Amino acid sequence: MRPIKFRAWDGITKNMVPVKSLYFEQDGKAGCAVDIEDINGDLESEWSLMQYTGIKDKNNIEIYEDDVVIAKSVRSMVGMVIFSKGQWLIENSVTRDTQSMDLGVFELIGNIYENPDLQKVVMIMDSDDKLN
């Protein structure tokens, strides 16, 4: 079983923070998060929450939702990590191609908050790309 953990992008300080705990509203939505320094962040207006996928890249770096990765499996592609239909996927925003993260080798490039230009990374890579 994978560890359940989160991180959040603090839109005010422009920093990524590890989340220690979540507080839920009566409707079941997460409303507030607390980081390891006991700072609260509102998830509606201040912080963007990202869940750990349980997958590490080829350099043993944890991959989270909204990260941008290079995937090398049946076909190579660059895309953003999303959760859809009960599974973690990589989605290329131009081609709308998706690829399951169940199999393959991944390399983390960054995330869309610390590197907003990565949202524009939309290429499909050749199978001879150097992702070994």
State how many domains the chain has.
1
Residue 10 is encoded by which pair of tokens? 């603090």
Residue 51 lies in a domain: yes
Q: What is the pLDDT of residues 1-52, one digit of tens each?
A: 788 999 999 999 999 999 999 999 999 989 999 999 999 999 999 999 999 9
Residue 131 lies in a domain: no
d(CA 61, CA 67): 11
Residue 116 lies in a domain: yes
State residue 121's pLDDT score. Answer: 61
Strands (E), 1-132: 6-10, 15-24, 30-35, 40-42, 47-56, 62-64, 67-72, 76-84, 87-91, 98-100, 105-111
State residue 15's pLDDT score. Answer: 95
Q: What is the pLDDT of residues 61-84, one digit of tens each?
A: 999 999 999 988 767 788 899 999
Residue 128 lies in a domain: no
Residue 93 lies in a domain: yes
State residue 6's pLDDT score. Answer: 97
Residue 34 lies in a domain: yes
Residue 132 lies in a domain: no
**Domain residues for 57?**
6-120
State residue 131's pLDDT score. Answer: 46
Sequence-distant (6+) residues with CB within 8 A of 44 are: 31
Pairing state between β 40-42 and 76-84: unpaired
Q: What is the pLDDT of residues 85-120, one digit of tens each?
A: 899 999 987 777 888 888 788 999 999 999 888 876
Residue 12 lies in a domain: yes
State residue 43's pLDDT score. Answer: 94
CATH number at residue 43: 2.30.30.290
